[in-house]
Structure 1
């Protein structure tokens, strides 16, 4: 494989967002769900990440605003776990607590630093493409000391849409200065990351980290993805081998 560039997803690829959600939702539960046993806190994370109502996906399609999608997800979370109904003022306080705890818990996965440095040392251009805003994701990358090596190139606000739209992948390649067919995209979602990258003409790599997946992936879906050319890794430490560096 001849590769000139690698584009990374951020959440649960470079940054442990699942862990940060656990921290922020625990803070929320202590205040708004005081009767919920702590042993059920992981359920909050599962429900939040699954987003059964598809509100975040609607945000990435440009159909709703960022705060609007989080308000809808908050209402559904409270309805599922017996939390209070929040008016506008109540949600503003909820959101302030959630965001403060969320940002406080941003950390990079332990396999990130070495791999990024190895790619850069091999002369491979590196950047980030994410389905959140450029400002938010730049703040994450700066907090975990990656922004100087992994510039935030394209967010959902760059073109007004996000992955799996092929335009965002092609725009990220343009900004990175690499041809799509010689650019790898690495992300933790099989559909909107790896398969969408392949559909856009890039090389798609699915980072299937151990632990609960945000959405289930059937063996049939995985087989179809592999047949389409998707590579699968369980850790970023495997990426240099896949790229032959």
Structure 2
């Protein structure tokens, strides 16, 4: 069985986040004391910081959203206003959800070869399912596991093992493809899977990790 990450593996999360943040900034720049580039950098920083706190169970999914908005607009704003503003951003973010160009051809090819496909993703179950539906790839996967549903986040190897149990397959019979070296490739390998690092940015090399730069390369690895 072949499992995938979602964000920055199947869905171009970084582009959607950046375009969504820019649109949000343009609508709210009178209340934000920086320029567009500074705002985008700050948005990415706050996103990474508070989402990590959510994964570590320091904050709920809703709380991490509110904290991001309060850092941007001021700690004095109410929770209701923080929710309203974050929902405004989410509208822009969703508008820019798109798959990478190599995703659908690769999924189609693997399905035609009779491969079973699955998802293991950190994040909120409802939002991750909505992403798969919106970018029209939900139909390819028969096992979808999210950290909010099972209560465990990558890189904890238990989430990979739980996914295998739910799919009724052995870990050694599975591949896992994701864009993060430690969180995806190494953690899944430690869980007994064959981890593959999807290094779309060609940022560095790791000789001990099976690495691809496009999903088109999967056919040479997965027979």
Both structures adopt the same fold (TM-score exceeding 0.5): yes
Q: Following the alignment from structure 1 to structure 2, what is the Cα–Cα distance between the partners of residues 138 and 207?
A: 21
Other-structure match for 1:153: 144
Contact 1:29 1:36 in 2 (8 A): no
Per the alignment, do residues 48 and 236 of structure 1 end up closer, same or farther by CA in structure 2, a change over 3 Å counting? farther
Cα deviation, residue 174, structure 1: 2.1
2:57 is paired with a residue whose SS is coil
Structure 2 CA distance for aligned equivalents of residues 68 and 37 of structure 1: 26
The aligned counterpart of 1:197 is 188
Unaligned runs of 5+ in 2: none
Instruction: Please give the alpha-carbon distance, in whole angstroms, between the structure 2 residues aligned to 1:46 and 1:133.
Output: 18
Question: Which residue is equivalent to 1:216?
Answer: none
| Aligned position for 1:142 | 133
Distance 1:69 1:151, change over 3 A: farther
Q: Report deviation, 1:31.
A: 2.7
Match of 1:26 in 2: 22
Q: Name 1:208's counterpart in structure 2.
A: 199
Q: Work out the CA distance in 2 between the residues paired with 1:118 and 1:74.
A: 42
Q: 2:45 aligns with which of 35, 44, 47?
A: 47
SS of the aligned residue for 1:113 comes to helix
Question: CA shift at 1:237, angstroms?
Answer: 1.1
Residue 217 of structure 2 is aligned to residue 238 of structure 1: yes
Q: What displacement does 1:143 show?
A: 0.5
Is the 2:212–2:218 contact (alpha carbons within 8 Å) kept by the matching residues of 1? yes
Quote the Cα distance in structure 2 between the aligned partners of 1:171 and 1:70.
28
Q: TM-score with structure 1 length normalisation?
A: 0.81
Q: Does 1:169 align with 2:149?
A: no
1:115 to 85, 92, 106: 106
Shift of 1:41: 5.2
Structure 1 segments unaligned to the other structure (5+ residues): 214-218
The answer as to whether partners of 1:6 and 1:126 remain within 8 angstroms in 2 is yes
Deviation of the 1:60 alpha carbon: 2.0
> Which residue number corresponds to residue 91 of structure 2?
100
Normalized against structure 2, the TM-score is what?
0.88
